[in-house]
Amino acid sequence: MTAPRPVRYDRELVPGLAAFLDLVERIPLREHTILANRAHFATIIPPIAEQAAGLPVEWEDRLIPGPPGAPAVAVTIVRPVRAGAAAPGVLSIHGGGQVLGTRFFGTGELIDFAVRFGTVGVAVEYRLHPEASDAAPGPRGTAGAEDCYAALEWFAAHADELGVDTERLLVSGASAGGGLSASVALMARDRGGPRLAGQLLDCPMLDDRNDTVSAGQYDGIGAWDRNNNDTAWNAILGPDRFGDAVSPYAAPARAADLSGLPPAYVAVGAAEVFRDEAVAYASGIWAAGGSAELHVWSGGYHGFAGFSPDAIVSRAALAARDSWVRRTLRLA
């Protein structure tokens, strides 16, 4: 069968895509290159002091209790220098396929939100796979999600200390962080946990099966292609991948029931591997009577707004995200 023809990239995004591939995907992600890619990622994630330089924010690192029977979880708290009382809260979950990256891969968004929206943010250092899959109790592939959920519980329990309004608590992430944000929302619903005001799912990694049309269109093409995705899901789920035992907390697309979830913002590029699973997830929320706002950005590659922020489509995407955040967190 002939591979499906890929959607063309927006011409304004092509230079940013080239920069993305040169900087982030210099080493093809395969089982034997995960450690090399982690080492490379460590060189391209700026320290938080550099990310926040000259901005009116402060931060601190803490070690908080992890899930039952699991190690403690490191978090970084980011707040405005003059944080108001009962500020909105954002739990940030970083991307990297659940195999790469650190919490500081997601602190840029928390700094930006703290400056512009007055939010107090918590970035989570969750366990990476495959190591976490081999060591963790419970369903395979859920260790990272459990760490993130433990951080959400801690965040809500310490809201008074942190100056956070628990009625305005948001979970947010891109790529793997988007998938883990969806997992945390499912856990909070199922366990009667902290009430989330919303879930911000940016180009989310949701489905281990990797068998959509868009996955086929970006097989060996573009940023975070089908091969990278296979490598990551194999690391997360190992021999359980594709089987009926896969937990929706590992792969949220496996959830049979998407009712009762907090409002979702789902954004994805039309020219990337996660397009179809993101559309299907938003459609599943609607089918269950829930609230979802879906944006599929024409010609957008994976993570396009970060690497091509000045393109017209990127500015539109960031404006749409900000509008949803303001409405969801009831900001003036």
Per-residue pLDDT of 20-31, as tens digits, reads: 999 888 889 999
70-110 residue pLDDT tens: 999 999 999 999 877 899 999 999 999 999 999 999 999 99
Give the pLDDT confidence of 183-235 residue by residue, as tens digits. Answer: 999 999 999 999 999 999 999 999 999 999 999 999 999 999 999 999 999 99
- What is the average pLDDT across 32-50? 95
- Over residues 10-34, the mean pLDDT reads 93
The single-letter code of the amino acid at 49 is A
Poorest-confidence range of 3-7, 133-137, 143-147? 133-137
Tell me the pLDDT tens digit for each residue of 221-279. Answer: 999 999 999 999 999 999 999 999 999 999 999 999 999 999 999 999 999 999 999 99
Percent of the chain residues topping a pLDDT of 90? 92
pTM comes to 0.97
Q: Inform me whether the pLDDT recorded for 113 exceeds 70.
A: yes
Higher pLDDT, 127 or 137: 127
Question: Nearest 10 degrees: CA dihedral of 116, 121, 127, 130?
Answer: -30
Counting DSSP H helices and E strands in the chain, the numbers are 13, 8
How far, in Å, CA of 332 to CA of 328, rounded? 11
**Range 302-307 average pLDDT:** 95
Question: How confident is residue 4, by pLDDT bands cut at 50, 70 and 90?
Answer: confident
- Cα 141 to Cα 134: distance, rounded to the nearest angstrom: 9
Mean pLDDT of the chain: 95
- Per-residue pLDDT for 1 more than 60? no
Report the distance separating Cα 305 and Cα 312, nearest Å.
10
pLDDT of residue 321: 98
Mean pLDDT of all residues in 156-162: 97
Task: Give CA–CA dist 36/314, Å, rounded.
Answer: 31
Judge whether residue 2 has pLDDT over 80.
Answer: no
* Predicted pLDDT at 176: 98
Instruction: Look up residue 325 and give its two tokens.
Output: 């955040």
What does 146-181 look like in DSSP terms, one character per residue?
A: HHHHHHHHHHHHTHHHHTEEEEEEEEEEETHHHHHH
In the structure, what pLDDT confidence band is assigned to residue 148 with cuts at 50, 70 and 90?
Answer: very high
Q: What is the distance between the alpha carbons of residues 269 and 275, in angstroms, rounded to a whole number?
A: 6
With cut-offs at 50, 70 and 90, classify the pLDDT of residue 136: low
Whole-angstrom distance, CA of residue 17 vs CA of residue 300:
9
pLDDT at 220: 93
Distance CA 171, CA 262 (A): 10
Rounded Cα gap, residues 272 and 257, in angstroms: 26
Q: Which residues contact 143 (CB under 8 A, 6 or more apart)?
A: 70, 126, 127, 129, 132, 133, 135, 136
Q: How far apart are CA 121 and CA 313, in angstroms?
A: 27
For residue 24, give every residue at least 6 positions away whose Cβ sits within 8 Å of its Cβ, in sequence order, or none.
41, 44, 223
303 is written with which tokens?
A: 């993570």
